[in-house]
Structure 1
Amino acid sequence: MTAGRFITYAVLVLAAIAVIFPVYYVIAGSIMAPGQISSYPPDLFPHGLFTGNYEGATSTTAIGRQYVNSVLQTSVITLSQLITSVLAAYAFVFMKMWGRTLLFGLFLGTLMVPWESIVLPNYLTITGWELGGQRLTASYAGTMIALVLPFLANAFGVFLLRQSFLQFPTELRDAAVIDGCGHWRFMRRILIPLNKPALMAVGLYVFLAAWNQFFWPLLIGDNANRRTLQIGISQLNDVEAANPGLILAGVVLSILPTLAIVIFGQRFIVRGLTAGAIR
């Protein structure tokens, strides 16, 4: 091993430790007793398996219900954005229309609009609509329809899938048309199976973004049972500020799905994001 390679590996190991250590300490601190986690100097390894933090986190606030809300919200947003992104990207690539390039440019322009600038219009729109004869502010604030409605479509997924669809061989598309394959059949039987890495990348990106939402669920939810897990974790800080283990237990419950997705879906993220990089 040369000196340059040794230095490279040493820098990479240090960078990996800097990234992994906070995640490790959150997990280790969640199973430490209150006396151990508050000790000085701090202990880096738990002396035993203390489950009181998880019991306190699930019983102090409505985290169980908020966990279900987060799962439902994230699932609906992810599925909806996958469907709308596939349909829009297919139209931009395979369907001939006037002004297609201009329309796609305007579509991408929505990515430049800061979320903070449209929070108030979204809130006023949702609370102003009526469903079943009752206003959202009276009976539906914080329910699933209010949580997911502003996020059912997004231009990023359309852009990523369009770049992937552009790599599809035109000869294969022409052969499918000659064999009498329509739009729906071609998309369902040929295009989507051959673009699974890009679809997985979009799905994982949308899942992580939806799961970590904080401001919108806080704004639209009117009580603890109608909010999401991220809001519940912040409430743990107010309920039991003297017990950091309680907060760490809530954080562990929050990061478990995202950690599993990143670990097992990393190769799909990399392959999907680089699918349209080279033509």
Structure 2
Amino acid sequence: MANQVAGQLDKGPLVSGQNGSKRKGSGFSISKYISYLFLIILCVMWIVPIIFGITTSFRSQTEVVTSGFRLFPKEWIFDNYVKILDNTSTAPILRWLVNSLFIASMHTLLVVVVISITGYGYSRMKFKGRDTLFFTLLGISFFPGVVNLIPSYKIIDALGWVNTSWAMIIPGLAGMGNLFLVRQFMNGIPKELDESAHVDGAGHFRIYFSIIVPLIKPILIVCALFSFTGSWNDFLWPVIVFTDVDKMPVTAGLLLLQDIYGNYRMIGQLMGSAILAIIPTLVLFLFAQKYFVQSINLNSGIKG
């Protein structure tokens, strides 16, 4: 009898604990489902316009004008893309894509070199006014970029870089946003590594190349992705500094296409040009998602 009572007492708390855990799990599931529902709504808000833009590029001009909003076309046609690629005089889209690829790649390469060296100086080297200078520049960077348009254009014009790729490659190499990320990442690297290297006779450049650069690769890759997409998607600055059609990047070319294809004349071709312009950055993000996850932890370059 005593054993049966003891067994019943043992079962009681166990059942109660199970019910409590179920109630707790049930509450957690509701919040999880609400979160999923919110994310799904956001995805729909982002994806539907993109899908509509892609499908519009496969519609005839007659259907664009007469059918109203339809997510998918009645008849899929490829004439819009054929006409886009055949137009090499007034709208050389392939030439613009090559120009953008060259400009964004060169800009990204130089950004990685500049911010890694500059970040090393602000993080590992000691000099008077280092932090004051850094945070002063960081504060100045919060001013809107349009404030610098006229001075920047004056400088570019004085250097003879108007209508050249250098007008987009050089400005913005030492962006404070990327520099702040690199500096914070470097601050998470133990300074004992530097001290050990100094004891062995290594100088700053040896420490930078042999110790720091291998450890900050994740954040450099993230900054490179930000720089590439920023340069590729830049619109206002290339419109100002480029007037030669053959030298334009694709964003400035798209503005020109509004005069050629816009006003309900050739909406399908205009949308097809825009779709071609986003393909490189879309592919880049698909292959580089894991590096964005790594960048969330500013100490992810240090392995325990």
Do structure 1's residue 112 and structure 2's residue 142 form an aligned pair? Answer: yes
Tell me what 1:201 maps to. 222
CA contact (8 A) 1:33 1:50 kept: yes
Pairing 1:151–2:172 present = yes
Query: How far apart, CA to CA, are the structure 2 residues paired with 1:112 and 1:10?
Result: 35
1:167 aligns with 2:188: yes
Contact conserved, 2:51 with 2:71, CA < 8 A, in 1? no
Deviation for aligned residue 1:269: 2.3
Cα drift, residue 182 of structure 1: 2.7
Superposition map of 1:80-229 within 5 A: 80-129=110-159, 136=160, 140-229=161-250
User: Which secondary structure does the structure 1 equivalent of 2:288 belong to?
Assistant: helix
Q: 2:51 aligns with which of 19, 24, 27?
A: 24
The structure number with the bigger radius of gyration is 2
Q: Which residue of 2 aligns with 1:249?
A: 272
- Deviation of 1:219 after TM superposition, in Å, equals 0.9
**TM-score calculated relative to the size of structure 1:** 0.87
Which deviates further from its counterpart, 106-115 or 95-104?
106-115
Aligned to 2:10: none
Q: Which moved more, 1:17-26 or 1:89-98?
A: 17-26
> Which string of whole-angstrom CA distances, capped at 9 and with x for unpartnered residues, describes residues 133-155 of structure 1?
xxx2xxx5211122323223212
Matched residues, number: 268
Unaligned runs of 5+ in 1: 130-135
Q: 1:224-254 CA deviation, whole Å, 9 max, x = no partner?
A: 1122101111222211222211111111111
Q: Distance in 1 between matches of 2:56 and 2:290?
A: 30
Distance of 2:33 and 2:296 partners within structure 1: 30
Matches within 5 A, 1:33-44: 33-44=60-71
Maintained 8 Å contact 1:82/1:157: no
1:11 alignment partner in structure 2: 38
Residue among 288, 292, 300 paired with 1:265: 288
Indicate conservation of the 8 Å contact 1:204/1:269, yes or no: no
What amino acid is aligned across from residue 29 of structure 1 in structure 2?
T
Contact 1:93/1:166 (8 A) holds in 2: yes
Counterparts of 1:144 and 1:87 in 2: how far apart (Å)?
24
Shift of 1:276: 5.8
CA contact (8 A) 1:123 1:220 kept: yes
Shift in CA distance, 9/218, structure 1 to aligned 2, threshold 3 Å: same
SS in 2 for 1:96: coil
What SS does the aligned partner of 1:239 have? helix
1:70 pairs, out of 100, 110, 121, with 100
The separation in 1 between residues aligned to 2:35 and 2:173, in whole angstroms, is: 43
Moved more, 88-97 or 188-197: 188-197
Identity %: 29
Which amino acid counterpart does residue 32 of structure 1 have in structure 2?
A: R
Return closer, same or farther for 1:35/1:82 CA change in 2, 3 Å cut-off: same
- Structure 1 counterpart of 2:192, one-letter code: E
Determine the C-alpha separation between the residues in 2 that align with 1:258 and 1:230. Answer: 13
- Cα distance in 2 between the residues matched to 1:33 and 1:42: 14
Higher RCO (Cα < 8 Å, 6 or more apart): 1
Where does the alignment leave 5 or more consecutive residues of structure 2 unmatched? 1-25
Inter-partner Cα distance in structure 1 for 2:241 and 2:72 = 40
Distance 2:74 2:211 in 1: 55
Q: Distance in 1 between matches of 2:156 and 2:201?
A: 44
Deviation at 1:165, TM superposition (A): 0.2
What's the RMSD between the two structures over aligned residues? 2.1
Q: Give the deviation of 1:177 after TM superposition.
A: 2.5
For the Cα contact (< 8 Å) 2:163–2:242, is it kept in 1? yes
Q: Is the 8 A contact 2:163 2:243 kept in 1?
A: yes
